[in-house]
Amino acid sequence: MSNPIRIEKVNQTRIDHVNFDNLAFGNEFSDHMLICLYQNGKWGEVLIKPYGPISYLPAMSVLHYGQAVFEGMKAFRQVDGKVALFRGESHYERFNRSCKRVVIPEIPKDIFLGGLKKLIETDYEWVPKEKFKSLYIRPFVFATDEYLGVRASKTYAFVIITSPVGNYYKEGINPVKLTTMPDYVRAVKGGVGDAKVPGNYAASLLPAQKALEQGFTQVLWLDATSQSNIEEVGTSNMFFVVNGNLVTPKLSGSILQGITRDSVIKLAKHKGFSVEEKTITVQDVFNWHKSGSLTEVFATGTAAVISPVGSIHHNGETIVLNEKEMGPISKMLYAHLTDIHRGEQPDPFGWCEKV
């Protein structure tokens, strides 16, 4: 039996105060949000209500021990004027995999996807009309027990907020500068690096800040054990174009199983490229560059889509690639993927679901 969905609409929309021509990432929020509480061993009523404060007590366990999970998804305005949710099932499955890792009860599909579709319908006008813009969707769940002992909470809140967005980076789709940070690690095998939990992002902030101070855009994470294998960028997965084909770090257990990573692998194969998922050392990358076989590097993520990498710095050495613009293969994959988002190209994988 499906959980009931109740909708309380705003009296007055805020949409007229939003400048859709000048959207950055993540600072405008649509009129409504969804909330659903877990108590006494079950998820309750789904409530769609005006976006606004949620109040909790200071002893709420997520504030102390971080038991929480989030996702990042997108809905796109297509050329026919309708809205399509991109790879909803894949995000739903990843959300519950992350929940399992931090002992949060599974969210039923009718709440997560059924509720999300109702929320998008409610805020349909908030989905930007222009190409390359989208409605970013942030589902999250957190532990709400008022208790200071360390144990899995017995109560949770599941919330979805949405945000009309433009590019993730201020660079737009211009190349970003990466650096390794040998004094820090992001995740270890057996840890939570492959789960979308907030602590991974909190731990990345200090090294990211240092990277920024040194003139880089993001940290390129290496594996924690040998500090030689390339993992991910924290907000995205890495791809290298070597001799005209794609290579990407294999899923090692400590990197996130990116949905855009998977979309790019499938799309590139569909377009006739070979795509290899394997262990890639930072030395491999520098060697490929030296031999001339490395022609492009890019990062993939829901928020960032496909962002070209202009340079990589490691141990005092820097390699420079496509410093000023996206390389041709990245550009072609970006164009094809954004055309699928937009409904301008066939969707052979059934990724877009009309709402």
Among 157, 246, 303, 329, binds ligand COI (CB under 6 A): 303
Strand pairing report for 73-77 and 5-7:
unpaired
Alpha-carbon distance 161 to 159, whole Å?
7
Nearest to ligand COI of 267, 303 (CB atom): 303
- In angstroms, the CA 14 to CA 34 distance is 17
158 is written with which tokens? 């599941």
Here the tokens at position 166 are 């433009």
Show the binding pattern over residues 187-206: x = contacts ligand COI (CB under 6 A), - = does not: --------------x-----
Q: The dihedral of CA 158, 162, 163, 169: what is its sign?
A: positive
Interface of this chain with ligand COI, residues 11 to 70, rule: CB under 6 A: none
Half-sphere exposure of 42 (CA within 13 A, CB side): 5
How many residues bind to ligand COI according to rule CB under 6 A?
6
- Compare residues 43 and 216 and give the one whose CB is closer to ligand COI: 216
Task: Pick the closest to residue 250 from 240, 242, 307 (CA basis).
Answer: 240
Smallest distance from ligand COI to CB 7, Å: 26
Which of 301, 308, 310, 343 touches ligand COI by CB under 6 A? 301
202 C-beta neighbours (distance < 10 Å), count: 10
Q: Is 302 in the site for ligand COI (CB under 6 A)?
A: yes
Q: Is 263 in the site for ligand COI (CB under 6 A)?
A: no
Nearer to ligand COI, 108 or 258 (CB): 258
Provide the minimum distance between the beta carbon of 261 and ligand COI in the complex, in angstroms, as a whole number.
Answer: 11
R_g of the chain computed on alpha carbons: 21
Tell me which residues in 232-251 interact with ligand COI (CB under 6 A).
Answer: 235
Q: Which positions touch ligand COI (CB under 6 A)?
A: 72, 201, 235, 301-303
